Amino acid sequence: MPIIAYIGVGSNVGERKDNCRKAIELLEETGRVLSISSLYHSEPVGYKEQEDFINAVVSIETDLSAMELLDACHVIEGRLGRKRTLRWGPRTIDLDILLYGDQIMNQPHLIIPHPLMATRKFVLAPLAEIAPEVMHPVLQKTARQLLRELKDASRVIKCKPDSKTP
């Protein structure tokens, strides 16, 4: 039975918008893409000494298990040149499973819902754009509520369509 998953997409190396668009295109191999948020320009969180990010969120309907979807995301990251060196460091592409239906998982390599999604504006802004009523299964709040209550003051700006700059 298909399940709806939400995947965060981010890039801050190379042609960031193109990297995100290519990753979203490749996500179509994992299931049917239902919706794609706007692209957002955001400052880095965690490790600050790096370029700003371009972020988006995609919803997909998939028959893959959560672990299979994670493996597929890692394959896509590899195809787009992702090198895992510094935690929260620069990357050509980053794909994070934010939600997988209403499931709650705590596996060594996969925690769903994403453990930091409710604290990150660069995740909640695009998620609330495409799925304002989607429910965080642990906090029992919608994406819209989480965004409204968020204390994160980092800069997250919707990109202008078809522009090389935010």
- What would the pLDDT profile of 27-40 be if each residue is shown by its tens digit? 999 999 999 999 99
Residue 166: pLDDT over 60: no
pLDDT band for 81, please (50, 70, 90 cuts). confident
How many domains, the chain?
1
CATH number at residue 130: 3.30.70.560
Residue 85: pLDDT over 90: no
- What would the pLDDT profile of 135-146 be if each residue is shown by its tens digit? 999 999 999 999
163 domain residue, yes or no:
no
Q: Which of 26, 90, 88, 103 is nearest to 58 (CA)?
A: 26
Both tokens of residue 56? 């988006």
166 domain residue, yes or no:
no
Q: What pLDDT does residue 49 have? A: 72
Listed in sequence order, the residues at least 6 apart from 66 whose beta carbon sits closer than 8 Å to its beta carbon are: 5, 97, 100, 103, 105, 110, 112
Residues annotated as catalytic are: 82, 91, 94, 96
Question: Within 10 Å of residue 154's Cβ, how many Cβ atoms?
Answer: 12
Domain range enclosing 98: 3-158
Both tokens of residue 160? 């202008």
Q: Which of 98, 3, 8, 112 is nearest to 60 (CA)?
A: 3
The proportion of the chain whose per-residue pLDDT surpasses 70, expressed as a percent, equals 90
140 domain residue, yes or no:
yes
Rounded alpha-carbon distances, angstroms, from residue 124 to 22, 29, 111 = 22, 25, 17
Q: What pLDDT does residue 84 have? A: 62
- Across 53-80, average pLDDT: 95
- Across 8-24, average pLDDT: 94
